[in-house]
Structure 1
Amino acid sequence: MHYYSTEKVCAKQIGVTVDYDGYITEIEFVGGCDGNTHGLQNLLLGMKKEDAIAKLEGIDCRGRGTSCPDQLAKILKRL
């Protein structure tokens, strides 16, 4: 798993692994709201990265212009 730094959110890093077929196999948030991050992990494991990006991209948290889900979408786009 590779960890990526985040910007403007409570989670300081997000670790994610995508297999060769484009499925998310591992996710770990470092920091952030424990219940929300565990919920995201459970919902997204086994999902195609393109589907996750479509669902998460652009979600805003408290007017920050981003959120933990949006940061994860940005990371997935780079993979």
Structure 2
Amino acid sequence: MTIEYTPRGVCSRFFSIQVEDGIIQSVQVIGGCDGNLKGISSLLKGMKVEDAIARMEGIRCGGKATSCPDQLARALRTAMPQA
């Protein structure tokens, strides 16, 4: 499954996330802090979706109510099965 997500309230402009069987295969980010987001993308590869959400959800950037990791968690929520 490919998740295409437009984040809100952050510098990043677009996420494309590949998920197979609940495991993150790749993360591509357009915009934002290039080095930091490449690092985050590399760390997420091979991680379970629910683990990534638990680690990133609620992280804030400076005075903002959200952050790129928080927005990635929100994007990943769309890959979670609906209960």
TM over 0.5: yes
Q: Larger relative CO (CA 8 A, sep 6+): 1 or 2?
A: 2
Corresponding residue number in structure 2 for 1:70: 70
Over the matched positions of the two proteins, sequence identity in percent amounts to: 49
Cα deviation, 1:11-70, whole Å, max 9, x if unaligned, reads: 011110110x20000100000001100100110000000000000000000121100000
Work out the CA distance in 1 between the residues paired with 2:26 and 2:55: 18
What amino acid is the match of 2:36? N
| Gap runs ≥5 in structure 2 | none
What amino acid is the match of 2:41? Q
Work out the CA distance in 2 between the residues paired with 1:31 and 1:3: 14
**What TM-score, normalized by structure 1, do the two folds share?**
0.94
What amino acid is the match of 2:13? K
Partner of 1:72, secondary structure, is: helix
Corresponding residue number in structure 1 for 2:19: 18
Count the aligned residue pairs: 78
| Gap runs ≥5 in structure 1 | none
**What TM-score, normalized by structure 2, do the two folds share?**
0.89
